[in-house]
């Protein structure tokens, strides 16, 4: 604190009070605005980065769900495929390698089974089927199936390469990258091994009575597979697929992540993300382990890119801050000037001289807080020029940060909904594809045609059970299936124990299907007997036969466990209490754990909800139960299903509220700092003024040794210098007067001194006192209470300090004294007369008797000009003629009668006949006679109503002669 005080003193001593106050205001404003800006930036940036990380984890969870769905479908399809008779016969029955007809038939059957079971996907590279009978079948979607090996031994392959395969979990994809690549003597075996090397592969053994009779291996086109699995809406994001041993598999950027650096920095038990320093910049790294799969997902996102959307905000805040600083500059300039003006004017007056200060016309200045002391005014100054503007800036900054954070949450939530949409689309697409495969299966088509004329046999029911079993094997969420013929008679039902027939849940379903074009319809949702939510899908069955193509054969009803769709977004967090749910095209909520809460926020009668159903995607704010929610939605590609996300706005406010509390705490500290600085500065300003006031009281009590020690260049320092000079001059005058009295022992000089003393006593002292009272009143009206007190002390000081010095002075001093007197009289007379000077500069260096002109001029003003309302004239003329100087004092006042003039001309004789002291002109004549005897002369001319002229003729007396 002491060091700060010393630094402030060293600065405050060098500048005026206005500059000091302005500097402190601007410095405090810059300190607060800059400090709070960077602190709030760091806080909100961290908040946004955390949100981005949490939403990145959500995206990876959706990627994991998508990944799981892909391989679950692949697993179900391949499991069905390896158990078909065609595949098991092809890999088990012996064949001759030169029997191309037999080989071709096997290849054709395998290709047909694959085409019927596995749909085309860009990310599937090759499908290998290797048989115990040394069959090598290779399938590529672009080229179809082919026989690919004549130099192949299954047992050798099984012992070498497949040994690595069998270490992997069956039905689980893995990255084929054995530490030691097997060496095969057979060419075809080596070719197959190279096809697998550094590929994502999936294998399934082909078993017959628990004996391995073959192997099916599916390899993936890694770039296409990554493109299918990963979802990224930002070009700045770097994505990477790793093994669970952190071995890089794929990256979307030419320069993948530095594995060692990233994994060493991700040491957190609670989160899956961290911030690292890389290439001189901060990067958000999100790490996600795919459960049940030997893979890891990792993303790298530059922090600068996460915050790049805030560049416009930074520009806005910069210009607003610049405007605020300009406002503070103007306000502090005006306010500081108003506070320091009384001191400034007093200092200027003292610098110009006593007469110059009194010559000015009184001005009514605008005084702020006139009834408060300096310290209170300075505190108010800092509050108005620093605290209030910065409070407004911080409030705006907080609002802008909240708006930025809210926009970021909206952006990230919309991105998450896109991920959910992709997974929902994939599931619904599979439902559409599986039901389509089912209704166009030859045996189903034949059974439906047969049901129109005859009753189905038990064998037909077994076939239908098998088909539904195959479909349920591929999609476990399928609970039941119903088939109805064209006459709406149910011919088959594979009912889950708690499932309710469609005739009871929606009897109008057949009418809806009759008006459809054969697409899969989402009928709705209901709860089964166990209160489990179920989705019902239906499809019209049309003939695929060429002769009856497109004719209606019947209806398919499928019930799906709704919870499977819920699982897609159940693991996603939107804040602390946000959630997702599904709605159908009619606005009915399809899936959510808390349907009551959801229906409370969105109702069919809500106009915003109605508008949402008419739009494809978007977001809006919704008020419900005195709460505000952000609602996000997007539409799936099937059935008009909408994914809806709801986030309570209170969550955003709660997180930003921390910033508000920080701001409040920061402002409390800043307010205390302002009070300390204001108190310190006011002390540095008011303490010297109080000291000066005390010294003036001491001088008034007779202590002429008092001195004001105050260094600096401000108004207070100037007042201190003038005060010290005044005291010094008083001491000099006292000393000179004392020494003169010791030297002047002659009777004549004593007489002159007595007469001079008498003259000074007769000069009206009330003029000086009244003038000082005027100064005091002017200061009082300006609200400068300290100046009022100082002026009162100054008046008391002058009452006891009028100079008694007598003798000869330079004519220039006499003329200056007269000029000061005339300035005061002009103020008193409100400029009812003017003064014209016509004095030669040559005579100003000669000596004359002290105080001879002022009584003559005073007489002219009092008896001649005071009675005039305006246009008064007083001319003072001086020149040299030979050995004499001539002084003429002319006024255009009331003048005198001839009798009055004659009485004045008798002054010379009367003064020579008496030693008594007269007043006015008599006193002047006596003193001139004492100094110059008969070497001087004077004359008076006057006419009543025209004015008076007084002439003095004095001998030239140089300083040497004096």
CA distance 32 to 790: 38
CA distance 159 to 563: 44
Instruction: Name the H helices within 360-387.
Output: 374-382
Cα Rg of the chain, angstroms:
55
CA distance 850 to 215: 135
Contacts for 520 with CB less than 8 Å, ≥ 6 apart: 431, 432, 435, 436, 537, 538, 539, 638, 639
φ, ψ for residue 350 (rounded to 5)? -65, -35
CA distance 719 to 350: 8
- Predicted confidence at residue 798, as pLDDT, reads 45
Give the residues of the chain that fall short of pLDDT 50: 256-271, 354-355, 357, 362-363, 365, 745-747, 750, 754, 762-763, 793-794, 797-801, 803-804, 913-918
Say if CB 234 and CB 252 are below 8 A apart.
no
The β-bridge partners of 582 are 591, 643
Percent composition of the chain: helix, strand, coil (DSSP 3-state, to 5)? 55, 20, 25
Q: In terms of C-beta distances under 8 Å and separation of at least 24 residues, what long-range contacts does 35-38 make, across chains too?
A: 35/666, 36/390, 36/393, 36/394, 36/397, 36/663, 36/666, 37/317, 37/321, 37/397
CA distance 538 to 435: 9
- Predicted confidence at residue 949, as pLDDT, reads 93
Q: Of 375, 390, 451, which Cα lies nearest the Cα of 683?
A: 375
Maximum Cα interatomic distance, the chain, rounded to a whole number of Å: 174
The model's pLDDT over 34-55, given as tens digits with 9 standing for 90+, comes to 887 788 778 778 888 887 888 8
CA distance 380 to 678: 9
> How many residues in total does the chain contain?
962
CA distance 22 to 50: 42
Calculate the CA 617 to chain-centre distance.
Answer: 30
CA distance 469 to 480: 10
CB atoms within 10 A of CB 153: 16
H/E run at residue 323: helix 311-352
CA distance 531 to 4: 75
Query: Which tokens in the block code for residue 297?
Result: 């997902």
Say if CB 630 and CB 649 are below 8 A apart.
yes
Say if CB 645 and CB 574 are below 8 A apart.
yes
Contacts for 209 with CB less than 8 Å, ≥ 6 apart: none
In this structure, what DSSP letter does residue 794 have? H
Q: In terms of C-beta distances under 8 Å and separation of at least 24 residues, what long-range contacts does 427-433 make, across chains too?
A: 427/69, 427/564, 427/565, 427/568, 428/636, 428/637, 428/638, 428/639, 428/641, 429/637, 429/638, 430/69, 430/73, 430/475, 431/475, 431/520, 431/537, 431/558, 431/560, 432/519, 432/520, 432/638, 433/119
**CA 406, 412, 413 angle in degrees (round to 5)?**
85
Contacts for 843 with CB less than 8 Å, ≥ 6 apart: 811, 878, 879, 880, 885, 956
Helix (H, G, I), strand (E, B) or coil at 248: strand
Q: Which domains does the chain have, with CATH numbers?
A: 63-226 (3.30.450), 440-565 (3.30.450.20), 574-653 (3.30.450.20), 807-962 (3.30.565.10)
Say if CB 640 and CB 585 are below 8 A apart.
yes
Strands 872-881 and 833-839: parallel
The β-bridge partners of 586 are none
**CA 682, 684, 685 angle in degrees (round to 5)?**
65
Query: Which tokens in the block code for residue 4?
Result: 């700060």
The β-bridge partners of 534 are 526, 561
Q: In terms of C-beta distances under 8 Å and separation of at least 24 residues, what long-range contacts does 147-154 make, across chains too?
A: 147/103, 147/104, 147/106, 147/107, 148/188, 148/191, 148/192, 149/188, 149/189, 149/192, 150/97, 150/188, 151/186, 151/187, 151/188, 151/189, 152/186, 152/188, 152/189, 152/192, 153/186, 153/189, 154/130, 154/214
CB atoms within 10 A of CB 887: 23
φ, ψ for residue 152 (rounded to 5)? -145, 135
- Predicted confidence at residue 786, as pLDDT, reads 56
- Predicted confidence at residue 270, as pLDDT, reads 38
Query: Which tokens in the block code for residue 426?
Result: 């994939």
């Amino acid at each position: 604190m002491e060091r700060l005080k010393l630094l402030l003193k060293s600065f405050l001593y060098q500048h005026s009070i206005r500059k000091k106050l302005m500097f402190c205001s601007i410095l405090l404003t810059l300190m607060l605005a800059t400090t709070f800006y960077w602190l709030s930036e760091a806080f909100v940036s961290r908040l946004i980065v955390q949100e981005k990380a949490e939403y990145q984890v959500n995206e990876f969870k959706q990627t994991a769900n998508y990944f799981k769905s892909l391989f679950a479908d692949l697993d179900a399809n391949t499991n069905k495929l390896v158990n078909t008779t065609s595949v098991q016969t092809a890999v088990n029955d012996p064949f001759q390698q030169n029997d191309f007809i037999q080989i071709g038939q096997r290849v054709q059957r395998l290709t047909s089974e694959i085409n019927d079971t596995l749909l085309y996907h860009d990310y599937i590279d090759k499908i290998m089927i290797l048989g115990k009978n040394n069959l090598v079948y290779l399938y590529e979607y672009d080229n179809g199936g082919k026989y690919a090996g004549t130099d192949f031994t299954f047992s050798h392959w099984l012992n070498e390469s497949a040994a690595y395969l069998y270490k992997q979990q069956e039905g689980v994809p893995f990255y084929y990258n054995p530490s030691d690549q097997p060496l095969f003597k057979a060419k075809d075996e080596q070719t197959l091994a190279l096809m697998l090397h550094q590929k994502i592969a999936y294998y399934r053994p082909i078993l017959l009575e628990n004996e391995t009779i073959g192997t099916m291996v599916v390899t993936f086109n890694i770039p296409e597979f990554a493109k299918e699995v990963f979802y990224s809406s930002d070009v700045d994001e770097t994505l990477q697929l790793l093994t669970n041993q952190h071995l890089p598999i794929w990256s979307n950027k030419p320069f993948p992540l530095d594995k060692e650096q990233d994994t060493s920095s991700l040491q957190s038990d609670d989160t899956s993300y961290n911030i690292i320093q890389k290439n001189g910049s901060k990067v958000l790294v999100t790490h996600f382990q795919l459960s049940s799969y030997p893979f890891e997902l990792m993303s790298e996102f530059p922090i600068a890119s996460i915050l790049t959307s805030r560049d416009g905000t930074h520009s806005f805040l910069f210009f607003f801050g610049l405007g605020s600083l300009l406002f503070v500059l103007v306000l502090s300039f005006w306010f500081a000037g108003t506070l320091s003006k009384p001191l400034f004017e007093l200092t200027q007056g003292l610098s110009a001289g006593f007469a110059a200060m009194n010559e000015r016309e009184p001005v009514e200045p605008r005084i702020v807080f006139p009834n408060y002391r300096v310290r209170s005014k300075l505190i108010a100054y800092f509050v108005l020029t620093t605290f209030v503007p910065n409070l407004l800036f911080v409030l705006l900054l907080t609002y802008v940060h909240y708006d930025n954070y809210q926009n970021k949450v909206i952006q990230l939530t919309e991105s998450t909904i896109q991920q959910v949409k992709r997974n929902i689309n994939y599931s619904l697409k599979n439902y559409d594809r599986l039901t389509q495969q089912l209704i166009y299966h030859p045996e189903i088509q034949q059974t439906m045609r047969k049901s129109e004329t005859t009753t189905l046999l038990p064998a037909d029911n077994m076939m239908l059970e098998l088909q539904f079993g195959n479909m349920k094997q591929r999609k476990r969420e399928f609970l039941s299936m119903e088939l109805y013929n064209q006459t709406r008679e149910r011919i088959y039902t594979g009912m889950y124990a708690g499932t309710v027939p469609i005739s009871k849940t929606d009897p109008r379903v057949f009418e809806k299907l009759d008006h459809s074009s054969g697409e899969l319809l989402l009928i709705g949702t209901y709860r089964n007997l166990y209160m489990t939510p179920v989705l019902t899908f239906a499809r019209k069955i049309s003939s695929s036969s060429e002769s009856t193509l497109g004719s209606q054969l019947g209806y398919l009803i499928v019930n799906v466990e709704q919870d499977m769709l819920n699982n897609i977004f159940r693991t996603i967090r939107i804040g602390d209490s946000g959630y997702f749910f599904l709605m159908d095209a009619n606005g009915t909520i399809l899936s959510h754990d808390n349907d009551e809460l959801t229906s409370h926020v969105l109702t069919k009668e809500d106009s915003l909800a109605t508008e949402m159903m008419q739009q494809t995607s978007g977001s809006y704010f919704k008020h419900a139960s005195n709460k505000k929610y952000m609602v996000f939605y997007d539409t799936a590609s099937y059935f008009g299903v909408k994914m809806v996300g709801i986030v309570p706005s209170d969550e955003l406010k709660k997180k930003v509220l921390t910033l508000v509390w920080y701001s409040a705490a920061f402002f409390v500290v800043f307010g205390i700092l302002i009070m300390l600085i204001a108190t310190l500065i006011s002390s540095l300003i008011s303490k010297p003024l109080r000291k000066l006031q005390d010294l003036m009281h001491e001088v008034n009590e007779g202590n002429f040794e008092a001195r004001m020690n105050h260094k600096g260049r401000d108004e207070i320092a100037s007042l201190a210098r003038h005060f010290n000079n005044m005291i010094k001059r008083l001491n000099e005058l006292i000393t000179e007067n004392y020494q003169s009295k010791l030297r002047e022992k002659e009777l004549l000089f004593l007489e002159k001194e007595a007469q001079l003393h008498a003259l000074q006593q007769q000069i009206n002292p009330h003029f000086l006192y009244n003038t000082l009272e005027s100064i005091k009143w002017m200061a009082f009206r300006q609200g400068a209470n300290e100046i009022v007190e100082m002026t009162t002390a100054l008046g008391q000081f002058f009452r006891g300090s009028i100079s008694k010095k007598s003798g000869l002075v330079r004519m220039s001093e006499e003329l200056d004294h007269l000029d000061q007197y005339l300035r005061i009289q002009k103020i008193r007379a409100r400029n009812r007369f003017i003064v014209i000077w016509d004095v030669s500069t040559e005579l100003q260096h000669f000596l004359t008797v002290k105080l001879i002109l002022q009584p003559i001029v005073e007489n002219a003003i009092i008896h001649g000009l005071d009675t005039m309302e305006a246009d008064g004239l007083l001319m003072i003329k001086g020149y040299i003629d030979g050995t004499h100087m001539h002084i003429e004092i002319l006024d255009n006042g009331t003048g005198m009668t001839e009798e009055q003039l004659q009485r004045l001309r008798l002054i010379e004789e009367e003064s020579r006949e008496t030693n008594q002291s007269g007043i006015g002109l008599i006193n002047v004549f006596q003193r001139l006679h004492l100094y110059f005897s008969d070497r001087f002369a004077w004359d008076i001319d006057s006419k009543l109503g025209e004015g008076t002229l007084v002439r003095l003729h004095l001998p030239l007396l140089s300083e040497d002669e004096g």
